[in-house]
Every structure is written in C-alpha cells, then in structure tokens.
Chains A and B, each alone.
Chain A
Amino acid sequence: MTEQNSPSDQKSGSKDAESLWEFVPLADYHIPGLPARSAAATSWTSLKRIFRRANEESTAAVKEEAKLSALPQVRLKYLVQPPNLSEAARALDASLNEWMLSCTSDCPVKFVIGQPHSDHAEIVRQWGLRYKATPITPPTYQQIFTGDGRWFDSWPVSDLPWILPNLERCYLRHASGLTLLRELFERAENGRLGRGVIGCDSWGWAYLQRVWPMSRPDALTLQAFDGQRLASLLTHLVALRSNKRICFRNARTGNDILTIPGSDSEVPREIVELAAHCRGNVGIAILYWRDRLRTEPDTEETNSDADKKMSEQGETDEERVWVSAKLSEPVLPIGTDEYTAFVLHALLLHGGMPASLLPELLPLSHYRCMAILLRLRNAGVVEWKQGCWWVAGLAYENVRGFLCGHDYLADGF
C-alpha cells in the first residue's frame, strides 16, 4: 500500500504548502522571468513558429524521448496529486481578514481574479465555507438575455456574507447580455446586496473593465508561482512512500530536476522555465508537469501491477521518473482564421460556454461554430466537459499568444 507522509510531516508540510499560496492586489502580480539564455531560446522558438507549419512542429519529437512512454494514471495519481485548495482558501482568508473585520461599508464587495484553469471559483467557494457565506448561483442564459431582475432574489437577507464564484458566467457578450451585470455592479458597489466576495476569470474581468469601467486596485489575485514556489508545490504534490526516494530526471540531459525527499538546493532550470512559460499560472503548470512525466517501457505498469507494486515496500530505494524536455502543446491548426479566433476568444471571455450560445454571440451559424469547435478539439486545443466547451489547459498558452498577437483583448496577466 502506498502511504502518505507521517502526520507530523503532513502538518509541517501543510504549513509550508500554505505559505506557497498568497493573494495579492492585481498590480503586485509578478510574472516569473526567464534566465537570459532561456529567454533567447524562447524568442527563437516563437520566431520559428511564425514560419513553421503546425503539423511540422507537432511531429517533431526528441529522439531519445520517443522510447519513453506516458505514465499510467495510477502512478500519476501518486506523483502529482491535485493541489489542496483549502490551503489557498486559507491564504485568501488571510488577505481578506482585515476587510472582514472592518465595519465600514466603503467597500462592500471584494473581487478575486483568477487565470483560466487556476480554480479561482473553487477557492472562493472554500473560503465561503469558512464563513457560511451564501453561494450565489449565476443566472441562467435566459435570465441574462432578458435582464431578469428576479435573479437578485437569491441574495441573502441576513447579514451573512455571500459569494459569487463565477462572475464570468453572469454576462454574455451580446447587446442584450450586459444589463443584468450592470445592475449587479450598481447594487453591489452601493452595498445594497450586503457584503460579498466575487470571483471572476481574468479574461472576463478584462472585458468587464470595459463594460463597467471601475478602478479596483484592491482586487486580489493568486500571486504567480515562480520557480521556487512551483518546485516546492510540486514536491508537496507527491504522495511519498515511506522508504522510497522519488527522482524526477530530465529525459534529455539526464540531470535530476527534483528529488523527494531532498535538500533545498537551487531551483532547477527546468522548473524556472516551466513557471515562466506558464506566466505563473499554477493550474497550467501542474497540467504541463503531469503531461511531461514519462516512464521507461520495460518498467511500464498496468494499473493492477502498479497497485501491487505500491503495496510492496523496501524493494528499491529510488523510484525514477523521467521528465520530457519538450513541452508537447497542442498547436493551432493550419489556416486558423478570424472566425476561429472569435470562437476561442468567446470561450475565454465567458470561461467556457455551450456551443448553442456561440451563434448568438458571433456572426457565425451553428454549423460553422460546430465545425470550428470539432476541428479545434481534434487538434487538442479545446475540450468538452461539464456541458461546455473550454480552451484546453495545455493549449492555453498558445491560444493566448495567438490572440494577443492578433490584438484581441487579453487578460492582464
């Protein structure tokens, strides 16, 4: 059986992990930088990408890595556990503590802005649980279109705080889709809704700043995970077996990236580069990390084998996991046109949406939208889950770069 860290280790580990999460005002967000050599390499890659066809890049693989295979889910489950968002909620609470204790009504609402795939809504929900805050469900699309004010009946009449974790789900980029949101801002800013915390996706926030121009320097966001923080977090995400060291090793160079348990040494270049590539977005960084982990074919395990192996102890002292040197990102298909850009932009601005709504917002027919979405899905750029289409985590950086490069409105991160 696999084992978690011992309780005392867990306690101290939890404390360390908690300090990794920090909420700061938007202006204090620091995008992690790259060492000069890596920055030059990144610029060269970007330049090559302008002239290269998409399918050339996707087929290029590191020769040595071709021999390695992806890890089975069961090993991934132990090597990269989902981050504990209650620690993030505690960090948010620390940032909101002063505001919660103050009795003035100058600032009845606090905004928490999160980048895509960084789970801002869940963090706000978990914070709300600590105060028994009333969670507000976003209005239905019909309510948004008709500006149905009955939605405001769902606000609590008591003095308890409320939370609205998904502000990006409360509007539509349509001439009839902004009324309810403006009404919400007016009521919330005036204090008519009481005290609450609103979570919003960074892309939706960028757009809403144009709809309801307001200066909110106090809006909070999760501080970027630079190399140091990311290395610590990835270490915490590993569920250790008591007597085994786990060594994450670069598949190209053979250098050790992380050794767990290990001494706090210099942050490996690979992790610094990963943090910079993800612009400090922890959710995306974890997705990349999971995607890059490899194993040698002869040690490949089936799920049952792996479980069996996990239950045996003391066989070896070190478990070696290879980390692919290449970021295998989905590339936008050849001939990505302005309509594809519209679809991707709409998905980001609304934090994902059902295909049936796209024709209402874009100058495209339903069939055209579906054709674009399916093409993007085949390329791995978008995915369909929970009834909505989303920009896939591994494709996010490419999509963001594409939209920014074409002068579309982008988030401030």
Chain B
Amino acid sequence: MEKENQIAQIFKTLDIATAVKLASIVALSALFIIFIQRVLPWIANRLHGKNRLLLLALVPLIRLLIILTTFALIVPLLIEPSIQNMVAVFGTVGLALGFALKDYASSLIAGIVAIGEKPYRNGDWVEIGGVYGEVYHVGMRTIKIVTADDDKVSIPHSCLWNDSIINANDGSPSLQCVADFYLHPQHDAKQARQTLHDVALTSPYLHFDDPIAVILQEKPWGTHYRLRAYPVDASQQFRFVSDLTVRGKAALSNLGINFVTFPNLDGQGDLT
C-alpha cells in the first residue's frame, strides 16, 4: 500500500488537458522532424559541394535537438520534477532497456555518439563491414547507405563500437580516386608516368585544387601504376575512374607500352 502511494507520488495525475497537451507536443515534434528530414535534403540537393554536405549533416543534429526538447517538455507533465523521482524513473527505464532491448538501446546511444563524433554524415562515402556507398540518411538507430549498384543498406549505429569505419571524404566534397594500370616491365617509366599525369590533367572530371599523383611500384610480374586524383564531385568517382582508365589505356597503348595480362608466377604475384 505504501509502495503504491510512493509510485503515485512520482507520476502526476493525467487529466484530459494534460493528455491533449502531451499529444500536441508529440505530434508537433513528429511533424517538425518529418519537415526537417524532407526539406533540408531537398534544399541541400539544389546546392553543391560544401554547402550541400553541411546542410545534410545538420539533419540528425536538429532532429536530436527536437527530441531532447520534446523530452524536456513531456517529462514535467508526467512526473513530479524532483531529483529523487527522476533517478527512480530513469533508473527503472534504464534497467529495463539494458536487459530487454540491449542492442536497440546500444544503437540509439551510438546514434547520439555518432552525431557528436561524426564518423559519418549525410553525403559521406563510407565503407562499413565491406559495404561501400554514400550515406543518405542518418537515423536514430541506423544509417542508410546507397551503394554504387543502387542497393540500399541499413547499418545499425552500434557498428561504431566494434567495426572500423572508412570514410572516403569525411564531410568534404573532395574524394580521392585511384585508377590502376598493370604494365609490362619493359617500358620507359618516366614517359609512362608523365602520360598518366596528363591523362588526369585532361580529364573533364578533374578537380584542379587537389593534387594529382602517379605512384608506381615494381612487382615480380610487371609495374603497377596507381594514378591518384580528385573529381569535381564525390558522386562522380566511378565515372572518373572509368574515364581515367579508358583514356589512360589509350594513351599508354599509343606509346607502345604493353599491359600485363596475367601474373606469370603461377599465381604468386600480388596484384594489390
């Protein structure tokens, strides 16, 4: 009987006026979140480069602020706002979540951490657990990625705790692309390097403010060239690499340079 009284003291009596107020706050918050999640990406997709990425990255942050504000408005309507009551309620809720919905809660918390640490943001190109694609939605529990093959993949935020996250552009529009060329060892490397540099310099996709680099490494089966450059926009990366490859092969062929067709050491050659 005493326990029941104690619980009754924690929670306020829910009259109709309070219920309407609660429902209004929740409904308005939900509407505002939906509005932000639709309008900001719509505007962002009409912009370009840094402005686009900045606006996209604001979506989860604003949503979190809305949720926290809603929470702060709702809690005093439901319980008597004393420290004792807060500790009792949140302790009980935390215990329940910890046991019953451990993974879900872990993802929610990781989602909040992700907003602060920014290992990925909307518009970033990331690789998580072998999946590579562009982040197009950072939700409360998961992030959604669209791959180059247009597959949409949902990954829980809890991947933050254990998996490594490779972010190719980290909030910036610049993203390095690499085109590989495997050449027969008998050739003029200086000429080949200059030619590949010019191939990048003349690509219509090239972003000029970032450097071009040609790295070569001698292998048992030939010479491995890596042409590194940045496209104007991160979304052009696959087309950019294709363009570098097509024009690089044509330019090297014009120089009479042969390509390696297969590692000739019984599969022992390392192509990487």
List A residues at the B interface (Cβ < 8 Å): 50-51, 173-178, 210-211, 338, 342, 345-346, 361-363, 405-409
Contacts and interface: CB of A to CB of B under 8 A. Distances in A.
A261 B114 CA distance: 69
Interface residues of B, number: 24
B251 A175 contact: yes
Interface in B178-224: 195, 198-199, 201-202, 204, 207-208
A51 B242 CA distance: 32
Contacts of B204: 173, 342, 345-346, 361-363
Contacts of B46: 50-51
Contact of A407 (B233, B246, B250): B233
B232 interface: yes
B232 A175 contact: no
A406 B204 CA distance: 13
A89 to B, nearest CB: 33
Contacts of B239: 363
Interface of A is mostly: loop
Contact of B236 (A175, A338, A405): A338
Interface of B: 46-49, 173, 195, 198-199, 201-202, 204, 207-208, 232-233, 236, 239, 242-243, 246-247, 250-251, 254
B199 A409 contact: no
Nearest to A363: B243
Q: Which of B201, B204, B208, B232 has the most CB of A within 10 A?
A: B204
Contacts of A346: 204
B232 A408 contact: yes
B156 to A, nearest CB: 34
B3 to A, nearest CB: 60
Contacts of A50: 46-47
A210 B197 CA distance: 12
B202 A177 contact: yes
B265 to A, nearest CB: 32
B44 to A, nearest CB: 11
Nearest to B252: A175
B118 to A, nearest CB: 22
A172 to B, nearest CB: 8
Contacts of A210: 201, 208
A409 B208 contact: yes
15 contacts: A50-B47, A173-B204, A175-B198, A176-B254, A210-B208, A338-B233, A342-B204, A361-B202, A361-B204, A363-B204, A405-B48, A406-B49, A406-B233, A407-B48, A407-B233
Contacts of B199: 175
Contacts of A176: 251, 254
Contacts of B202: 173-175, 177-178, 361
A363 B207 CA distance: 16
Contacts of B247: 175
A223 to B, nearest CB: 27
Nearest to B242: A363
Contacts of A342: 204
